[in-house]
A = this chain, B = another copy of it.
């Protein structure tokens, strides 16, 4: 395999930024040097000129839903299209949810997802196992799952009757996972209260997509976060919250972390950057933003940025869960409860967080790398192979031009969906080149890699 030299750029890690040349051999970084005469830098077969550019670790997105059956339909991206979009957006590793269907043994679920991803993925990938049916013996099946490199378990505190586990099940899963060193990822919303609120709204004839938001007020998330933290303490097990959207949730996590409770959390690109005024759009437009939890007011967004800076939150993920507006979102035209919950974003996470975060002064560049790559990798057993620029690590690299810009549109995106959450936004910063294990997979937003390049990543336990 050819050796590569990324020369003249500014290397950025969570810890600092510095001028250096990075050499890659056999898909791994084998040298970082000043590039001065005589310093490191055995000659390389190819030189990538990074002058004036930032050289970043490839993004790690730990929250995607590819080829996933939910709410009566299937997400619009499969492992082929979804990972191509990831690559184009500067994300070189994803961790997707292997979602158990009722009655299915957990091992079978994982096998099913391996089959879906194998040979199709354009970038590296791993799985969380999402437990929705705690059948007799399910806890005994967990060690095998974990041994297979699926070292995290997802549960839902909402969607009674389909995905939800009750507090006793949550407790049991936490206890078992804790013993195994597997991290439990929690979707925290009080589903029972939400169901009552939603039913009330529908009973009043309030069936439009805007009411999705009103049926899931901030307090329904906050309550569940507090509850899950307490249950994880009783179970003596680490817990990780997915897609936090509110100021008080972030505060609860930060407070627990200050007490060294093993609690951590992510927010998502859209909770940082989009507001609920989008629910006031014309016609059925608002359905595009029917995500769970819903978009929140500015005070929440400000608090999320703040917690990313202070460390209350450690990760920004995409929660890429794409459904086409046409035919899919439309399933809920007459009842917001039937609109598939989710939106696309794996392709735009890095650009949006860079452009609206770093460039606007909300996040330092080192912290940007931390929350989009380093901490996700550390949290899910991928570090230091993934998530940083370090000799010995995989050469997953992004060349970003801070002087460029990126325009987001459904017309030009690689995501297999008919709209984009940031449609029409032009954000500062341009991802020029993306490398996965030393191979160029995307250039100027276009995919130049290949299906099947991506490999399953067996992840370490906590």
Complex contacts, A166 vs chain B, CB 8 Å: 192
- Whether the pair B220, A226 counts as a contact (CB closer than 8 A) is no
Cβ–Cβ contact B391 & A33, under 8 A: yes
- Nearest Cβ distance between residue A45 and chain B, in whole angstroms? 11
Contacts of A30 in B (CB 8 A): 33-34, 36, 38-40
User: Which residues on B sit within 8 Å (CB–CB) of A254?
Assistant: 258
A231 at the binding interface (Cβ < 8 Å): yes
Partner of A171, one of B13, B19, B193: B193
Contact between chains at B217 and A223 (CB < 8 Å): no
* Residues on B with beta carbons closer than 8 Å to the beta carbon of A19: 392
A20 touches B374 (CB 8 A): no
Interface of A is mostly: mixed
Does A316 belong to the interface (CB within 8 Å)?
Answer: no
Q: Whole-angstrom distance from the CB of A458 to the nearest CB of chain B? A: 19
Decide if A32 touches B40 in the complex (CB within 8 Å): yes
- Are B219 and A192 in contact, with the CB atoms below 8 A? no
Q: Which residues of B contact A312 (CB under 8 A)?
A: 258
The answer to whether B167 and A190 touch across the interface, beta carbons within 8 angstroms, is yes
Q: What is the bound-complex CA distance between A275 and B273, given in angstroms? A: 36
Interface segment out of the listed A124-132, A303-311, A403-411, A424-432: A303-311
Question: Is A276 in contact with chain B by the CB < 8 A criterion?
Answer: no
Cβ of A42 under 8 Å from chain B: yes
A359 within 8 A of B: no
Q: Which A residues from 241 to 274 make CB contacts under 8 A with B? A: 254, 257-258, 260
- A177 near B: Cβ within 8 Å? no
Closest 3 pairs (CB-CB, A-B):
A31-B40, A168-B192, A30-B39
Instruction: Beyond A15-B15, A25-B39, A166-B192, list 7 extra A-B contacts (CB 8 Å).
Output: A16-B384, A30-B34, A32-B391, A33-B33, A41-B42, A193-B234, A260-B306
A-B contact pairs, 28 of them (CB 8 A): A14-B15, A16-B384, A18-B390, A20-B390, A23-B33, A25-B38, A25-B39, A30-B36, A30-B38, A30-B39, A33-B391, A34-B391, A34-B392, A39-B391, A40-B41, A41-B42, A166-B192, A168-B193, A171-B192, A190-B231, A193-B231, A217-B234, A219-B234, A222-B230, A226-B227, A227-B227, A258-B258, A260-B306
